[in-house]
Amino acid sequence: MYFIGIDLGTSAVKLLLMDEKGTIHRVVSKEYPLYFPHPGWSEQNPKDWYEKTLEGIRELTEGVEKREVAGIGCGGQMHGLVVLDGCDQVIRPAILWNDGRTAKQTEYLNQVIGKETLSKYTANIAFAGFTAPKLLWMQEEEPEHFAKIAKIMLPKDYLSYRLSGVHCTDYSDASGMLLLDVEHKCWSKEMMEICHVREEQLPKLFESYEAVGTLKPRLAKELGLSDQVKIVAGAGDNAAAAVGTGTVGDGRCNISLGTSGTIFISSRTFGVDRHNALHSFAHADGYYHLMGCMLSAAACNKWWMEEILKTVDYGAEQEKICRLGENHVYYLPYLMGERSPHNDPDARACFIGMSMDTTREEMTQAVLEGVAFALRDSLEVAKSLGVQLTRTRICGGGAKSTLWKQIIANVMSLKVDMIESEEGPGLGGAMLAAVGCGVFASVEEAAGKLVRVVDTIEPEPELVEKYARHYEKFQKFYPALKGLF
């Protein structure tokens, strides 16, 4: 029996084929374009996601017994606004999670409606990348398009709809729309009124591991799969990645070093921090989680390597770095603004502390350290809630760097566990599909049986102390520069 996991990312869709023992038989990736029609805007064409996904499924299942594919689960980029008309046609390009056009609408929600009110209705406050501010932007700037909206969807849910014909979403992804009452797991009537949308425009809610339907017969025939293949609701990329790393149940942590970066803390109980610096979302295991999200993590390293240094040999640049904890160059990783904990779409990246003898290696090291310091910002908020952590798991493209993992272990004073597979959201999607097909009784059981830790990086007391002093200085930079942004 096989399960397909889909990771609908910002630059590509990545698919994997997993069996019921957790063995990954094949992984394929298909890229698609990203559009920046105006400064600070970020869009994609949902049809590109669908077409590339079908290409990926064909390649993924080539040479295997296709009738053995039992389920498909998707983890996907969160917060994106996909709008369909009455004929289920895409009205306009999807507005993505890292789009910063909604500063005015975000300020309206946070200042006029009020953060306390938003937190009461949804357990969260407004961030520029969230879905609700985008709906307000559409109403103000594209009223002719807004009037046509029959269905409001999230990116991965558009895929699920095209595969199953069901307008659906899951609680983890819906948590990032600012339309869901997270604590009670239902659409917030108050937020629907504020955003001028009706409940029939919103997708049906499911737990991440629940089957929403089966593969459309026509599509099944086209792909050579059974029309009994179950499509499960799936999860937002961070919740799916957490499942894929076994970060389920109570008090577990996962750090994701993807295009964006997150620190994800699972919990059996619902909780909100006083300043809403962290997101309080539903989790794919049926419970809840706290999450700090930075908009540019591995994206910072990619920008530095490819756009500035003009190289793709990341390893060669990092192998010359050997003096951890002694760098006097700092980097603020706010290339696309920042979410947790600053909630400032105007924040920008910068280097601080350079001198005539600053080297290329020190600046590369500063980029890696700056991302780690920014992740620690969110960890400190979690600590203020009484969360006590001693270790974390890690995934994402950036997690392939041993040096970066060493830096994170020491900056955050956490043991960093590497798991056998670092496929993140794709693996999580396949695991959710296996639960939905009845192979496992729960997400926790699936994680316990399929996720294996293979190595651990331990923090070094001397480096932890050095990085603690550097972090104290890092904390002062954003407040000092905020007025200039």
- What CATH number does residue 146 fall under? 3.30.420.40
Cα gap 265→263, rounded to integer Å: 7
pLDDT score of 258: 85
pLDDT score of 259: 85
pLDDT tens for residues 215-259? Answer: 999 999 999 999 999 999 999 998 999 999 999 999 999 998 988
Known binding residues for substrate: 78-79
Same structural domain, 403 and 296:
yes
- Give the model's confidence band at 6: pLDDT under 50 very low, under 70 low, under 90 confident, else very high: very high
Same structural domain, 303 and 215:
no
Same structural domain, 337 and 463:
yes
How confident is the model over 128-149, as a mean pLDDT?
97
Contacts of 241 (CB under 8 A, 6+ apart): 75, 254, 256, 258, 264, 395, 396, 424, 425, 428
User: Taking a C-beta distance cutoff of 8 angstroms, is the pair 232, 208 a contact?
Assistant: yes
pLDDT tens for residues 350-375? Answer: 999 999 999 999 999 999 999 999 99
Q: Is the pLDDT of residue 429 over 80?
A: yes
pLDDT score of 111: 96
pLDDT score of 351: 98
Please tell me the pTM assigned to this model.
0.88
Cα gap 365→193, rounded to integer Å: 48
Same structural domain, 55 and 195:
yes
Select from 193, 212, 238 the last residue of a domain. Answer: 238
Select from 181, 206, 238 the last residue of a domain. Answer: 238
pLDDT score of 423: 82
Select from 219, 238, 257 the last residue of a domain. Answer: 238
pLDDT tens for residues 371-427? Answer: 999 999 999 999 988 888 999 999 888 999 999 999 999 999 999 999 988 788 999
Q: Does residue 443 lie within any of the structural domains? A: no
Closest among 124, 118, 127 to 98, alpha carbons compared: 127
Cα gap 42→48, rounded to integer Å: 15
What is the phi-psi region of residue 255: left when phi exceeds 0, alpha when psi lies from -120 to 50, beta otherwise? Answer: beta
How confident is the model over 160-176, as a mean pLDDT?
98
pLDDT score of 416: 97
Same structural domain, 412 and 456:
yes
How confident is the model over 36-46, as a mean pLDDT?
95
How confident is the model over 7-14, as a mean pLDDT?
94
Mean pLDDT of the chain: 95
Closest among 14, 176, 5 to 98, alpha carbons compared: 176
Residue whose pair of structure tokens reads 């990246």 in the numeric block: 349
Q: Is the pLDDT of residue 306 over 80?
A: yes
Q: Is the pLDDT of residue 339 over 80?
A: yes
How confident is the model over 88-97, as a mean pLDDT?
97
pLDDT score of 426: 94
Helical axes 402-412 vs 461-481, angle rounded to 10°: 80
Q: Does residue 410 lie within any of the structural domains? A: yes
Q: Is the pLDDT of residue 77 over 80?
A: yes
Q: Catalytic amino acids?
A: 237
Same structural domain, 285 and 191:
no
Same structural domain, 219 and 361:
no
Q: Does residue 437 lie within any of the structural domains? A: no
Rg (C-alpha) for the chain, rounded Å, is: 21
pLDDT score of 421: 80
Residue whose pair of structure tokens reads 């909100």 in the numeric block: 272
Closest among 427, 474, 461 to 447, alpha carbons compared: 427
Q: Is the pLDDT of residue 172 over 80?
A: yes
Structural domain count of the chain: 2
Between 81-90, 235-244, 455-464, the lowest mean confidence (pLDDT) is in 235-244
Backbone angles phi, psi at 417, to 5 degrees: -90, 130
Half-sphere exposure of 203 (CA within 13 A, CB side): 31
**Which residue range forms the structural domain that includes residue 360?**
246-423+452-485
Q: Does residue 312 lie within any of the structural domains? A: yes
Q: Does residue 198 lie within any of the structural domains? A: yes
Same structural domain, 47 and 130:
yes
How confident is the model over 134-160, as a mean pLDDT?
98
Known binding residues: 78-79
